[in-house]
Amino acid sequence: MTSPNFSATLLVDQSPEEVFRAVTDMRAWWSENIVGPTEKLGEEFTYSYQDVHRTTMKLVELVPNARVVWLVTANHFNFIEDETEWVGTKVIFDISRKRNQTEIRFTHQGLVPEYECFGVCSSAWGSYIHGSLKNLLTTGKGNPNPKE
């Protein structure tokens, strides 16, 4: 059975420790426009991209070298009718060893095909995971949104 939530899986040669460090260094692969603390449970940060998207997330689960979960507590899109589609959803990174590689299973739990933003959002997440995060892990340099 497949999940209606958006998910993406990436296999890399780096260790779970290296992957965990990269995932939690979101300014190096997602966006340099992240404001607020991002390292400890309960901390909230804000992501923004121009006037198009602004979201606030709370770090709700942190298992070193294995799992990172952010809860979306506020959200605004300027291109859809229901700006709050992401509110209450979770962004999850599960990290595990698969033979001689490390698997990153990314899930945006609650980002479902019924959402107006699903096409744009799933495409963007796919680009960040399979592009920027993978580049950070394999070359040492991600492609985050630049500081505005």
**1 pLDDT exceeds 50?**
no
| Domain presence at residue 18 | no
Virtual torsion, Cα 54, 55, 56, 57, nearest 10 deg = -150
**CATH at 95:** 3.30.530.20
State the chain's mean pLDDT as an integer. 95
The model's pTM: 0.95
- 20/56 Cα distance (integer angstroms): 21
| Domain presence at residue 90 | yes
CB atoms within 10 A of CB 119: 10
**77 pLDDT exceeds 70?**
yes
Output the furthest CA–CA distance in the chain (Å, rounded): 45
| Domain presence at residue 50 | yes
| Domain presence at residue 93 | yes
| Domain presence at residue 23 | no
Task: Write out the residue range of the structural domain in which residue 121 sits.
Answer: 37-139
Phi then psi for residue 132, to 5 deg, are -65, -50
